[in-house]
Amino acid sequence: MPTQFKGLSAFPITPADPKGRVDTAAVEKLVGRLAAAKVDSIGLLGSTGTYAYLSRAERRRALDAALPVAGDVPVLVGVGALRTDEAVKLAQDAKAAGAAAGLLAAVSYTPLTEDEVYEHFVTVQRESGLPLCIYDNPGTTHFRFTPELVRRLSRHEGIVGVKSPSPEAPGGTAHLAALRAVVPEGFPLGYSGDWNVTEVLIAGGDAWFSVMGGLFPHTALALTRAAQGGDATEARALNARLEPLWALFRELSSLRVMYAAAGILGLTQAEPPRPILPLGESARARVAETLKALNLS
């Protein structure tokens, strides 16, 4: 199994100025921390990395900043775009920069059919030569990958994994079993959705694509290792301890909380891209209090 699709894949924010110019020094700092923590992979330009708000040129600048400091840690790169030809170019950029794989979401304005999404993925992979991970993110794209569509794509050489949102327990175990039944043996099945991921990792999910891990890799690694190492009691205890953070994620969005947390930690003072507004003073104070109480690392 490719190492980038097992264990902890940590997803940092992509600091940029109000005009959308990436702060490469901040990207290097964030990615360097993850590499030093020895995460299993780094998810650059994911949804937490606000890929949809950045131009192709700025995405490439982020790549060029991140890849050298990632060292031996595989980097997965978001290559989603509305148009297939644009996604091809983004995937070509990621391959040229040395990315291990691309994360491709079914980004759309007009709702897409399963056949359209299938052709989109096959074309991007074939024309770029970059291995692709299916990025199922229905909360953003309003398209959900069915087990049948995952089955079709998993048979295509170059489609090498899937990133699914973690359903609330006990739905995660059933979702994992449904996908396992249709994909080739060894095809990696990973999950996002930090506050629901523990049970699906315990059930055998291959990877945690983690928002929290983008700033607090050691804490995320501890939970991942416990869950995947068979210590369900420890994994559940660690997850329960993190409930104050999960509550903030659910209420305020993980993206806004991570931008606030990065500022509180002194890693960057960048704000989310407009029209997303940064947290107000009261909410930011709650984030600071939660981080202090949890003593994350």
- The catalytic residue among 135, 191, 259, 292 is 135
Q: CA-to-CA distance for 279 and 252, rounded, in angstroms?
A: 8
How do residues 249-288 score in pLDDT, each as one tens digit?
999 999 999 999 999 999 999 999 999 999 999 999 999 9
Cβ-based neighbours of 11, under 8 Å, separated by 6 or more: 42, 43, 44, 46, 47, 48, 49, 209, 210, 211, 213, 214
DSSP state of 4: G
Residue 5's pLDDT band, with cuts at 50, 70 and 90, is confident
How do residues 105-122 score in pLDDT, each as one tens digit?
999 999 999 999 999 999
What mean pLDDT value characterizes the chain?
97
pLDDT of res. 262: 98
27, 58 in Cβ contact below 8 A?
A: no
109 as an active site residue: the answer is no
Mean pLDDT of all residues in 129-141: 97
Q: Is residue 36 part of a domain?
A: yes
SS3 119: helix
Name the domain count of the chain: 1
Q: CA-to-CA distance for 275 and 127, rounded, in angstroms?
A: 33
**pLDDT of 4 higher than 80:** no
Q: Which domain holds residue 201?
A: 3-231
135 as an active site residue: the answer is yes
Q: Is residue 294 part of a domain?
A: no
Q: Is residue 278 part of a domain?
A: no
Residue stretches of the annotated binding site for pyruvate:
48
The pLDDT > 90 percentage for the chain reads: 97
Mean pLDDT of all residues in 147-169: 96
- The catalytic residue among 29, 89, 163, 191 is 163
Q: Is residue 250 part of a domain?
A: no
Closest C-alpha among 206, 198, 191 to residue 5: 206
CATH number at residue 199: 3.20.20.70
Q: What is the pTM of this model?
A: 0.97
Closest C-alpha among 192, 193, 217 to residue 267: 217
Q: Is residue 287 part of a domain?
A: no
pLDDT of res. 1: 61
Mean pLDDT of all residues in 180-203: 97
**pLDDT of 3 higher than 70:** no
**pLDDT of 8 higher than 70:** yes
Mean pLDDT of all residues in 220-244: 98
Cβ-based neighbours of 27, under 8 Å, separated by 6 or more: 12, 14, 15, 62, 65, 66
Q: Is residue 139 part of a domain?
A: yes
Q: Is residue 83 part of a domain?
A: yes
Q: Is residue 108 part of a domain?
A: yes
SS3 24: helix
How do residues 34-80 score in pLDDT, each as one tens digit?
999 999 999 999 999 999 999 999 999 999 999 999 999 999 999 99
